[in-house]
Amino acid sequence: MKKNILIVPGDGIGQEVTAVGKKVLDKIAEKYGHEFTYDEALIGHAAIEATGNPLPDESLEKMKKSDAVLFGAVGHPKYDNDPSAKVRPEQGLLKMRKELGLYANLRPIKLFDELLGASSIKPEILKGADILFFRELTGDIYFGEKGRKDNGDTAFDIAQYSRFEVERIARKAFEAAMTRGKKLCSVDKANVIETSRLWREVVQQVAKEYPEVTVEHQFVDATAMLLIKDPKRFDVVVTANLFGDILTDEASQIAGSMGMLASASIGDGTGVYEPIHGSAHDITGKGVANPMASVLSAALLLDISFGLKQESEDVINAVDQVLKAGFRTGDIADSSTPKDKILGTDAIGEEILKRL
Ligand code: NAD
């Protein structure tokens, strides 16, 4: 198979972890006789520094032309500490999602058995948890009108959803539920928020097309509690952009660490595959970032964008084997991990490559 993959490392540890993700794709190409060609593009702080623009047109064009994008993360402390900055790295990320029509963000939350001890949740509650989140990605409060009034003393962000936007993400989630445990939980705040009432109405309507799927509706506050209390009760979860952003970070603790969680953003055109974590400036340049989320994002890329299921499983198995051999990065190590088994970004990447 011949494919063009665009590598978009972005900022901070994004650079370090996508380098490992790319090596894994290379290894898969070599092993299975595929021909993957690569290009790189700038986004975020790195793009602002080079061009003044968090998503230059050239990067966007490259994204649109490629068969899939392996993305890192954006963000820089300079902007986090300066809310008045007009040009921000995250604008590049939001524009990429909007321009590529990436309305569905898939986040599989699955705990590798070896990491049962790495989570702050009790192992007996966690074991067997396997959740697939569908976070809507191009609507909600993130993309509505925002601004200040009263001389800047009042701020507003408008949350907005159309029937069409809810329907298409709901359908994707129902389709996925049909291939899994046939259970779908739709999360909203329909007791208070009008966009949530439309959300629930549309999900109930779409549910009629999938009579085999058992549907439940939960409020977001209750879901936050249930994810920790009983994560095994969930199969597929579908929710709006803001709720999904928060709940999936919470759910990352089910998988042991943010460094283990991959995501796929899909829609009308090129798919973008990225870890759920950010640019993690507290550990940037130290060579300790966990690259597994990027490696598992590469596995999602192979599966979803290229239909290469076996290759994708091969990558997931290699990660599993590395964990079984006892190797850890600092974020997933615990007090029982021997010092010589705690590896840095590149060294654990090499262990994954060896097993491929
Ligand atoms: P973060 O995800 O970057 O880091 C949160 C914590 O998790 C940090 O302590 C970090 O060291 C740790 N961590 C994250 N990924 C790790 C990995 N692979 N290995 C080991 N430890 C890891 O979130 P934050 O600190 O809230 O934000 C930092 C910057 O990232 C901000 O500028 C924020 O805007 C940006 N951000 C970007 C994205 C994205 O690009 N998709 C997502 C979230 C945050």
Residue 199 has pLDDT above 90, yes or no: yes
46 alpha-carbon distance from chain centroid? 21
Residue where a domain stops, chosen among 202, 233, 256: 256
Instruction: Kindly give the distance from the C-alpha atom of residue 159 to the centroid of ligand 1, in angstroms, as a whole number.
Output: 25
In percent, the amount of the chain with pLDDT more than 90 equals 85
Q: CATH code at 28?
A: 3.40.718.10
One domain, residues 233 and 325: no
What total of structural domains would you count in the chain? 2
The reply to whether 189 belongs to the active site is yes
As for ligand 1, residues whose beta carbon falls within 6 Å of it are 13, 17, 73-76, 80, 90, 93, 258-259, 277-283, 289-290, 293, 331
Residue 214 lies in a domain: yes
Identify the pLDDT of residue 249: 86
Residue 273 has pLDDT above 80, yes or no: yes
| Tokens linked to 209 | 């097309």
Residue 236 lies in a domain: yes
Instruction: State the CB neighbour count (10 A cutoff) for residue 85.
Output: 14
Q: What is the pLDDT of residues 33-85, one digit of tens each?
A: 999 999 999 999 999 999 999 999 999 999 999 999 999 999 999 888 888 88
One domain, residues 243 and 154: yes
Instruction: Kindly give the distance from the C-alpha atom of residue 40 to the centroid of ligand 1, in angstroms, as a whole number.
Output: 22
Q: What is the pLDDT of residues 287-301, one digit of tens each?
A: 999 999 999 999 999
Buried b (16+ CB within 10 A) or exposed e, 130-164: ebbbbbbbbbbbbbeeeeeeeeeeeeeeebebeee
One domain, residues 198 and 311: no
The reply to whether 221 belongs to the active site is yes
Residue where a domain stops, chosen among 256, 288, 323: 256
Domain range for 326 is: 1-103+267-356
Instruction: State the CB neighbour count (10 A cutoff) for residue 98.
Output: 17
One domain, residues 184 and 223: yes
Residue 108 lies in a domain: no
One domain, residues 26 and 90: yes
Strand locations in 42-153 (E): 68-73, 104-110, 130-136, 146-149
Paired with 328 in beta bridges are 342
Q: Are 134 and 177 in contact (CB under 8 A)?
A: no
Q: What is the pLDDT of residues 95-154, one digit of tens each?
A: 999 899 999 999 999 888 888 877 788 889 988 899 999 999 999 999 999 999 999 999
Identify the pLDDT of residue 255: 81
Q: Measured between alpha carbons, how far is 230 from 232 in angstroms, rounded to an integer?
A: 5
The reply to whether 57 belongs to the active site is no
Residue where a domain stops, chosen among 256, 284, 303: 256
The reply to whether 142 belongs to the active site is yes
